[in-house]
Amino acid sequence: MIRLMRFAAVSASLILLWHLLVVMTGLPPFILPGPMRVAAALTGNIELIGHHALVTIAEVLLGLGLGSLLGAMTAIGLAISPMARTLLRPMMVISQALPVFALAPLLTLWLGYGLWPKVIMALLIIYFPVTSAFFDGLMATPRGMLDLARVMNGQPWRIMAHIRIPAGLPGLASGLKLAAVYAPIGAIIGEWVGASQGLGYLMLLANGRAKTDLMFAALIVIVIITLSLHASVDRLCRVLARRMQFDA
């Protein structure tokens, strides 16, 4: 409740500063619309924005789910196999030197203007943070616990399932919370490059028609989606952590 009140206070302060900036500078609405004008655009185009928002949400959720699953599996594989660490970790680091955003036009060229180029963009952006954070958590398992399990003839897969993965969950949670913020960025960039639906496409369309208020309305919806997704992932991670502690 306290966090919600703080969030509401910060949001109200930002809206007030926005309104004061518009009033004091006297900027025309097509450059910087006021919050009331944006609110009117949001309510007046609620069906249009809602339709495009559902498309973007589907892209984000698919990208987040697939990217998180692939990242978690990769982290477990790296933790199990020294050879995989030797071969794959340098490749993963080198891949981060390549601007992922530069792949968006290629994905659109190869896969068209549909759903999957945006899903893959979201996946690519979150894959490394999830893999890196979870891998670090797996490798930080207390050495004493591992030694005790080996003395008791624990099988490697049992050690991984019952000791290393539970110990690495805080790292995975950190990666997932980052992924929840990054996934919408990937989807929006994919929509900017080539799309016929989605909030990113709607922003470009509104910008081309000088409907800055509609563009701001779409941007606000993107922010709401991102904050809601981050809060949901954070809540899910907390619940899973409590259950793991209870089961232990």
Question: pLDDT tens digits, residue range 188-240?
Answer: 999 999 888 999 999 999 998 989 999 999 999 999 999 999 999 999 888 87
Q: Report pLDDT for 149.
A: 80
Q: How confident is the model at residue 6 (pLDDT cuts 50, 70, 90)?
A: confident
C-beta separation of 176 from 130 below 8 A: yes
Instruction: Find out whether 35 and 185 touch, Cβ atoms under 8 Å.
Output: no
| pLDDT range class, residue 150, cuts 50, 70, 90 | confident
Question: What domains does the chain contain, in order, with CATH numbers?
Answer: 33-247 (1.10.3720.10)
